[in-house]
């Protein structure tokens, strides 16, 4: 575990020069494309929780210049981000954008779609349905958290559903695969040409995972599949939607470790008869204490999920009577 943390810390440090430094006065996200593979760039978000200081830009977005057009991965938390993302891409490559993918239904994956109204914006059908159902609530929350960064932003769900499968675009063999666990529809993109895995919200690195739509067992199963795919296809680079980019299994192992601990922690607390306020005051293991969004994200997860663990324990006790 110590080696894993050191590797991820090194990855974070090496990326620091490429990360944006938002300017609140000018509402400038300062997006800086960092090339991670041949004709492949990432725009790295802050490894933090949503805040006005970072413009609510905590997501990694990416773009691939395939030789037959650009594929964009995720569009950020606001109309403004999408517009600045588009300009950053235009500064980097002359190829036109031919496809805009959002990897799940959470707002920072698709709120920048407003800037891509003239391009195909795509997601899995379950994600599209979720965007349509929850978009207004997302907007209310982000306007409250992010203030002026959200000016003019409207929830703009992806317009087209996309199916899993392999597609050859220019010089890149791209594959879309469907998993679930972080949400009910998690889109994963594999670039077989460069060996880059775009893992979306299934993988968090150096940051507490978000769980509002989680299925913990399915998430763990999806992480096993990602590990298998990485070995099978010799994938060299992982782009999580949140946290530093890394090679190897580091982010997958971190996410798996957190989910296992959180599940065990809530179950054991319920079996001890602790109430919610008591669980919220319990410390986390040392290995998690330095992670971003701690303790806020932990408290959100416990507040949402702990009552279910209490109900399971009470239901089991009633059945034994």
Among the residues of 147-192, which ranges form H helices? Answer: none
Residue 20, pLDDT score: 74
Q: Mean pLDDT across the stretch 202-227?
A: 98
Q: Mean pLDDT across the stretch 167-186?
A: 98
Domains in the chain: how many in total?
1
pTM: 0.92
- How far apart CA 274 and CA 270 sit, in angstroms, is 6
Name the nearest CA neighbour of 300 among 204, 212, 183: 212
CATH number, domain at 32?
3.60.15.10
Q: Which segments within 52-106 are labelled E, that is strand?
A: 61-65, 70-73, 97-101
Residue 284 lies in a domain: no
The structure tokens listed for 13 are 């440090």
The model's pLDDT over 98-142, given as tens digits with 9 standing for 90+, comes to 999 999 999 999 999 999 999 999 999 999 999 999 999 999 999
The model's pLDDT over 74-85, given as tens digits with 9 standing for 90+, comes to 999 999 999 999
**Which domain, by its residues, includes 118?**
2-248
Residue 21, pLDDT score: 84
Residue 294 lies in a domain: no
Residue 310 lies in a domain: no
- Beta 97-101 vs 70-73: how paired, if at all? parallel
Among 13-27, 37-51, 153-167, 194-208, where is mean pLDDT lowest?
Answer: 13-27
Residue 12, pLDDT score: 43
Residue 27 lies in a domain: yes
Residue 269 lies in a domain: no
Query: What is the 3-state secondary structure of 241-292?
Result: EECCCECCCHHHHHHHHHHHHHHHHHHHHHHCCCCHHHHHCCCCCHHHCCCE
Tell me what percent of the residues of the chain surpass a pLDDT of 90.
90
Residue 20 lies in a domain: yes
Residue 107 lies in a domain: yes
Residue 148 lies in a domain: yes
Residue 319, pLDDT score: 59
Residue 242, pLDDT score: 97
- How far apart CA 149 and CA 213 sit, in angstroms, is 25
Contact of 187 with 124, CB cutoff 8 Å: yes
Residue 10, pLDDT score: 44
Distances (CA, A) of 260 to 126, 221, 276, 292: 26, 12, 19, 18
């Amino acid at each position: 575990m110590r080696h894993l943390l050191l590797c991820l810390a090194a990855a974070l440090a090496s990326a620091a020069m490429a990360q944006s430094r938002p300017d609140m006065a000018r509402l400038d996200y300062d997006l800086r494309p960092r090339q991670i593979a041949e004709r492949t760039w990432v725009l790295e978000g802050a490894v933090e929780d949503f805040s006005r200081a970072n413009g609510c830009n905590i997501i990694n977005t990416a773009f691939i210049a395939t030789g037959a057009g650009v594929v964009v991965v995720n569009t950020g938390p606001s109309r403004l981000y999408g517009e600045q993302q588009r300009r950053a891409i235009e500064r980097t490559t002359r190829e036109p954008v031919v496809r805009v993918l959002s990897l799940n239904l959470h707002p920072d994956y698709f709120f920048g779609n407003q800037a891509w109204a003239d391009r195909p914006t795509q997601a899995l059908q379950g994600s599209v349905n979720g965007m349509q159902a929850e978009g207004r609530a997302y907007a209310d929350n982000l306007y409250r958290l992010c203030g002026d960064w959200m000016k003019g932003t409207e929830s703009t769900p992806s317009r087209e559903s996309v199916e899993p499968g392999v597609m050859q675009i220019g010089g890149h063999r791209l594959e879309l695969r469907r998993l679930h666990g972080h949400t009910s529809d998690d889109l994963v993109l594999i670039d077989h040409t460069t060996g880059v895995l775009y893992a979306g919200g299934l993988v968090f690195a150096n940051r507490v995972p978000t769980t509002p739509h989680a299925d913990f067992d399915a998430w763990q199963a999806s992480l096993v599949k990602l590990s298998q795919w990485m070995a099978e296809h010799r994938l060299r680079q992982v782009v999580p939607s949140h946290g530093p980019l890394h090679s190897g299994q580091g982010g997958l192992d971190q996410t798996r470790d957190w989910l296992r601990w959180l599940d065990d922690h809530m179950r054991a607390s319920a079996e001890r008869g602790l109430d919610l306020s008591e669980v919220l005051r319990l410390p986390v293991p040392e290995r998690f204490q330095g992670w971003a969004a701690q303790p806020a994200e932990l408290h959100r997860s416990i507040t949402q999920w702990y009552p279910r663990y209490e109900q399971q324990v009470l239901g089991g006790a009633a059945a034994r009577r």
